[in-house]
Structures are given as structure tokens and as C-alpha cells.
Amino acid sequence: METLDRRNLFAVISALAAAGVAGSALAAEPTLAKSKVLRYADLPVRKFPNGGEQRRVITGTLPTGEFIEVHETMLPAGQMPHPPHKHPNTEMLFIQTGSVEYIDDDGKHIGAGPGDIVFSASNLTHGLINVGTTPATYIVVSVSKQLSEG
């Protein structure tokens, strides 16, 4: 084994530091480069104060550079997941069950139900409310080349 002089030691430390930074970035936002089957029963359930639940399916960066986040939400009757908002991500909501109203950028309420798909363009205000008498479930697919949501 060779001994390291200061210049080579600095090179090794720099490489390790860079690998540490890259490793922590990947841990926070993994690259989604491998195909797999995700078991619904294995998805962790996040509970919200409004009685809603969320199962995060995947989150990370695709090999082509887009950030993607997919989750399923159960929204109780009469509830909103949050007030109308906007963000850089483009979202598609695939309504599975229940009766919801999509609130568009003009504040207009548009009904949607099972089988309907809601499209929210980047940086336009949007919202959702469950107007039915039963829980609504929907799958969200969020895509962006910009920063991911927290």
C-alpha cells in the first residue's frame, strides 16, 4: 500500500466528501431507475387531522430527469386535503371513489367522480373538496423538473 502525500490525501477527502453529498441527495430523493412491484399492504399510511389518510407510492427522480411523486389519498366526506394552493409541479388526480369538486384557477367548482381525471397545470391555483357523503379516494401523480414538494 502506498503512503498518501498531502495532495493525494486532499484528492481522496474531496472525492469522499463529494460521494457523501451525492449519497445524501439520493437518500432524500432517490433515482427511480429500477422496475419493481409495490405491495399496497406494505405502503405506510400517513394520517391527517381532518381524518384523511395518504399512502405514498413512490417519490424521486426518473432517469430522464423529471421529479415524480405518486400517492393515494382517502379524503373524508365534507373535507379538503388543504386550502387551494399552487406549486411548480403538474398534478393528475385519478378519482377512484366518492364525489369531489375540483376548484380551478378561477375559483369555479367542477364535479368529478369515479373514473374522472383531474389535471392541474403548473403554478395555477387549484383545490379539491369531498362533496359526497362517503370517503373519496384518488391517486395523485405529480411531475416536475423543478424542486419536489416537501
pLDDT tens per residue across span 97-116: 999 999 999 999 999 999 99
Residue 64: inside a domain: yes
> Based on the domain organization, do 16 and 71 belong to the same domain?
no
Sign of torsion, CA 58 147 63 143?
Answer: positive
> Based on the domain organization, do 1 and 66 belong to the same domain?
no
Per-residue pLDDT, 145: 85
Per-residue pLDDT, 147: 55
For cell 376548484, name the residue. 103
Q: Which residues pair with 100 in a beta bridge?
A: 112, 130
Per-residue pLDDT, 53: 98
> Based on the domain organization, do 76 and 13 belong to the same domain?
no
- Exposure class string for 7-33: b at 16+ Cβ within 10 A, else e: eeeeeeeeeeeeeeeeeeeeeeeeebe
Which pLDDT band, with edges at 50, 70 and 90, does 13 fall under?
Answer: very low
Per-residue pLDDT, 146: 54
Per-residue pLDDT, 4: 39
Containing structural domain, residue 71: 40-144
> Based on the domain organization, do 62 and 100 belong to the same domain?
yes
Q: What is the mean pLDDT of the chain?
A: 83
Residue 35: inside a domain: no
Per-residue pLDDT, 19: 37
> Based on the domain organization, do 60 and 97 belong to the same domain?
yes
CATH number of the domain residue 113 falls in:
2.60.120.10
Which pLDDT band, with edges at 50, 70 and 90, does 27 fall under?
Answer: very low
> Based on the domain organization, do 94 and 122 belong to the same domain?
yes
pLDDT tens per residue across span 116-131: 999 999 999 999 999 9
> Based on the domain organization, do 107 and 128 belong to the same domain?
yes
Domain count within the chain: 2
> Tell me, what amino acid is at 55?
R
| DSSP run (H or E) holding 137 | strand 136-144
Residues 6+ apart with CB under 8 A from 98: 75, 77, 113, 114, 130, 132, 134, 135, 136, 137, 138
Residue 150: inside a domain: no
Residue 25: inside a domain: yes
